[in-house]
């Protein structure tokens, strides 16, 4: 298990899992300096969301586990990138 003190080492493409263990997306990029993860959601019609690092519960060989449920990730405000960033 990896802690989140340095998220910059997380591999792009890693599975993002909700608190139930369901895959909800894949990691596009992590920016530890600005404190967020950029996540691609969806299979056919992907969309990007930006999550604060504080929502990461833990990291394992299976992927990056969030302390949020799938419904929590439907918030449209998560689609707005941090200032100066883009997916």
pLDDT digits (tens, 9 = 90+) for 37-87: 999 987 666 789 999 999 999 999 999 999 999 999 988 899 988 877 665
Instruction: Mention every residue, 6+ apart, whose C-beta is less than 8 A from residue 13.
Output: 26, 27
Q: What is the mean pLDDT of residues 26-31?
A: 90
pLDDT, residue 3, reads: 47
pLDDT at 2 over 60: no
For domain 7-72, the CATH architecture is: Roll (2.30)
Tokens of 77: 């405000």
**Residue 25 DSSP one-character state:** E
Q: In this predicted structure, what is the pLDDT of residue 45?
A: 66
pTM (2 d.p.): 0.82
């Amino acid at each position: 298990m990896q802690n989140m003190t340095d998220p910059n080492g997380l591999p792009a493409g890693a599975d993002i899992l909700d608190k139930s263990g369901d895959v909800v997306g894949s990691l596009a990029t992590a920016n530890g300096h600005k404190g967020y993860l950029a996540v691609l959601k969806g299979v056919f019609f992907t969309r990007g969301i930006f999550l604060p690092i504080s929502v990461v519960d833990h990291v394992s060989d299976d992927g990056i586990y969030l302390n949020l449920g799938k419904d929590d990730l439907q918030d449209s405000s998560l689609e707005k990138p941090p200032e100066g960033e883009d997916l």
